[in-house]
Structure 1
């Protein structure tokens, strides 16, 4: 294609929009048609003639044009209609018919959360193509007509040389925080195969929010900063139909506002008021909760109680950190947390308008949550010492450990000890206030900063429990046997008694 042909196509686009009561100028039409070679405007067309020369009238270029028209003028015109219209312009030859299943669905990316739908699609494809080959990941590599893409998946060499219209099956693609960026890259590559080679790509997705799967995939594709999202075509129905969905993303619904109950018994009484005052003025940063009581959801009792202290920060959602081997455990959480929306990632929750997010602090990486400056994160993890809890999170932040500590506004650790009248607790509470992390002191300096800004110290509280006889040394030692600070406490206590 050359520049003169693009001008002819621009005139055709302008006339067609006029028939839809959308009147645009000559220069606007030229800027629109620049979408075909993947450029932003007409000056870029003039600046990059090689891009124009390599442009063909195919599903990829047409999808970009359809998207640009919809975005600029809120006018939804199907890509098939544009292709048929522009193919009639003299001197323009669209890319030939699909080599595989030419009467089948339009090339593009189609999504489902149902393995049954994938099986039905495979049967439909096999019948329509008389046993045509399928190139698949685990989602369909059991089919007799399937060739396993292996460890390289969509990055396998030679996929772009397959006949146009070939069916690629991707997945299962897990949507959770730990896999979000990897999943986004796989979605982008699926889109590129659809756009550049006219393949049909079926994507099987495993997500906690199947009703928002199209919106999440659209968010992923757009986040990578290209037009690849234009290849997101539709959904796969239960009977195996590749069905168009226009627009592909219908947009997220408004965030759900769940009022937290006022049950705050899990927060030790001595720590409640200092923590309440600190959180009252906070709408962003990280609040951490830890406990010595190891469970599938350690620290969640304190996390659930703190929801009532942070209602001012906006709608809350729980983030799925990973896919468990036993998914039922995701719901073995306190009732206040169980009632919150359970979303696959920070990115998805943010796009939906949530500004309070509950995370598992021992699984979250710093290069993710540190990107969001206006969110109040609430994390739970193992541990009762604020230094141990905070530095564990900082260590997961790579070279951004100092920035991670700057974002931590409070840390509450609870040492739970079996006593003579039930479980007793010793709290450790770090409150930032207006303090800033000192520069250049290394890890020892960071540890000292955390210790010096504690409002409550677990060692003082445990000493009081031991002195009163509420707990014994034996039970206290069993409370958190892996904690090195607890061992130091007993050694110092023993030395002090000897000295006295």
Structure 2
């Protein structure tokens, strides 16, 4: 047995467990399958390949696996039954002798961003195989000769019983930060089916950077796991508009070095009271996280401040922004200031980093993991709809995963600017709240109160002071302030305390 075969068996075990309502992830399945060669987990599999090579798939091996499954999930699985399930359909003919379309293109993974290419491939496959069945996800499940892969998709155990050379159609797979890991796992599984069962797999992709698609896919599969793997060798080529499966040599050409673009942006969006302390703090850093919040334009809040900050951070390296998610209205991604619009719009932090970008714009409001925490030489910049330093910062921190990750996220924040815009009869004005870290060390505990106290106590400009000055001078009224941020508890408490102080005096 070899490691790719063991990975494929992990997929089969995952599918079998799902049929018993035991939903596990791919990594958990890999740790389970390590029981076959008598190892504790997948890292041990990679550390002792000779144990894998010596392993034979028999009742002795499946006894170890059933023991582990029964212990973890309380399932009454028998070794002989599991062996039959794992070996069912495995008596395939010799490798390189394809049962379906033997004179057709080589087995492997072929990709496209075109629905038309997929439709042309289906027609070509049907003609070449005299109506051979296609096993497909949504990208081709409307085709008359296709069978839906179902809810388990590429992890369906039935795929292993298909004749070699069978066409699988996967996707559409969206590439953005929120789907990057899931898409990588699906592409890896497609590669394993191509390597171990000699299937042809066509994947329909949806990416903001089709020119980088091959490099992105190669990066995804190579870096999905810490251990080395040959899964990427199954990435074969492209599906042409005519429906041909064409090889690419090499599949990935390598990313081009990013061009340095000098930012041309006005600094007017950054209030004068905070410009110099913010400029000094940013000049001292080329890594960490800078956050901006504002209370106008909820769709792209604080993007004016973010665009201005690009001009203050050119020293940190080339900049790019990340597609955190696929919007239902893609045009909104481009309703941003010109300095941001001109930046490369990439599908993930991983892709941006691999290309050499060292300033990366993210959206903390829709970030659901701590992907950005894995980089200590990148300056991240994000925005949200808030005006208080604590709320702006904790929006990012709260989406960083575990409490340990939250502490790490807080330690990476170097500056936070919040801007409250107030409209009144005398015109509009702004109130600022600015945190700069300087040399301060954040709290090591995990209590939210400690986070808030640290952020609040290290502000160099306080919104309470600026708002007090505006109210005292009669520039704005309390009514106008309430209208600027109606649901902000701290703002309402501030106004209530001010009214109380006036009554006492």
Which TM-score band applies after superposition, normalised by the shorter structure?
0.7 to 0.9
Q: What are the within-5 Å matches in structure 2 for residues 17-416 of structure 1?
A: 49-50=53-54, 95=95, 97-224=97-224, 225=227, 226-398=229-401, 399=403, 400-416=405-421
Q: What per-residue deviation string (whole Å, max 9, x for no partner) do you get for residues 289-339 of structure 1?
A: 000114321111110010000000000000001000000110000000000
Residues 208 and 447 from structure 1, CA distance in 2 versus in 1: closer, same or farther, beyond 3 angstroms? same
User: 1:45 touches 1:52 (CA, 8 Å); kept in 2?
Assistant: no
In 2, distance between residues paired with 1:273 and 1:343?
Answer: 31
SS in structure 2 at match of 1:401:
helix
What's 2:43 paired with?
none
In the TM superposition, structure 1's runs of 4+ consecutive aligned residues that sit over 6 Å from their partners are 43-47, 51-54
Give the TM-score of the pair, scaled to structure 2.
0.81
In 2, distance between residues paired with 1:48 and 1:141?
Answer: 37
Q: What per-residue deviation string (whole Å, max 9, x for no partner) do you get for residues 446-493 of structure 1?
A: 111111000101111111112222222111101111221111111111
Deviation at residue 52 of structure 1 after TM alignment:
9.9
The range that moved more, 214-223 or 289-298, is 289-298
Match of 2:478 among 473, 476, 489: 473
SS in structure 1 at match of 2:370:
helix
User: 2:265 touches 2:339 (CA, 8 Å); kept in 1?
Assistant: no
What's 1:19 paired with?
none
Deviation at residue 94 of structure 1 after TM alignment:
5.2
User: 2:322 touches 2:361 (CA, 8 Å); kept in 1?
Assistant: yes
What's 1:457 paired with?
462
Deviation at residue 345 of structure 1 after TM alignment:
0.2
In 2, distance between residues paired with 1:44 and 1:360?
Answer: 41
In 2, distance between residues paired with 1:119 and 1:103?
Answer: 21
User: 1:99 touches 1:164 (CA, 8 Å); kept in 2?
Assistant: yes
What's 1:431 paired with?
436
What's 2:447 paired with?
442
Deviation at residue 394 of structure 1 after TM alignment:
1.0
SS in structure 2 at match of 1:158:
helix
Deviation at residue 96 of structure 1 after TM alignment:
5.2
What's 2:36 paired with?
none
SS in structure 2 at match of 1:362:
helix
Deviation at residue 97 of structure 1 after TM alignment:
1.3
Deviation at residue 373 of structure 1 after TM alignment:
1.1
In 2, distance between residues paired with 1:362 and 1:385?
Answer: 15
Q: Which runs of 5+ in 1 are unaligned?
A: 3-42, 55-92
Query: RMSD of the alignment, in Å?
Result: 1.9
In 1, distance between residues paired with 2:222 and 2:142?
Answer: 32
Deviation at residue 157 of structure 1 after TM alignment:
2.0
Residues 295 and 392 from structure 1, CA distance in 2 versus in 1: closer, same or farther, beyond 3 angstroms? closer
SS in structure 2 at match of 1:264:
coil
SS in structure 2 at match of 1:393:
helix
SS in structure 2 at match of 1:151:
coil
Give the TM-score of the pair, scaled to structure 1.
0.82
Deviation at residue 205 of structure 1 after TM alignment:
0.5
User: 1:117 touches 1:237 (CA, 8 Å); kept in 2?
Assistant: yes
User: 2:364 touches 2:399 (CA, 8 Å); kept in 1?
Assistant: no
In 2, distance between residues paired with 1:401 and 1:446?
Answer: 10
User: 1:256 touches 1:341 (CA, 8 Å); kept in 2?
Assistant: no
Q: What per-residue deviation string (whole Å, max 9, x for no partner) do you get for residues 237-277 of structure 1?
A: 11111000011000001113221114111111101000000
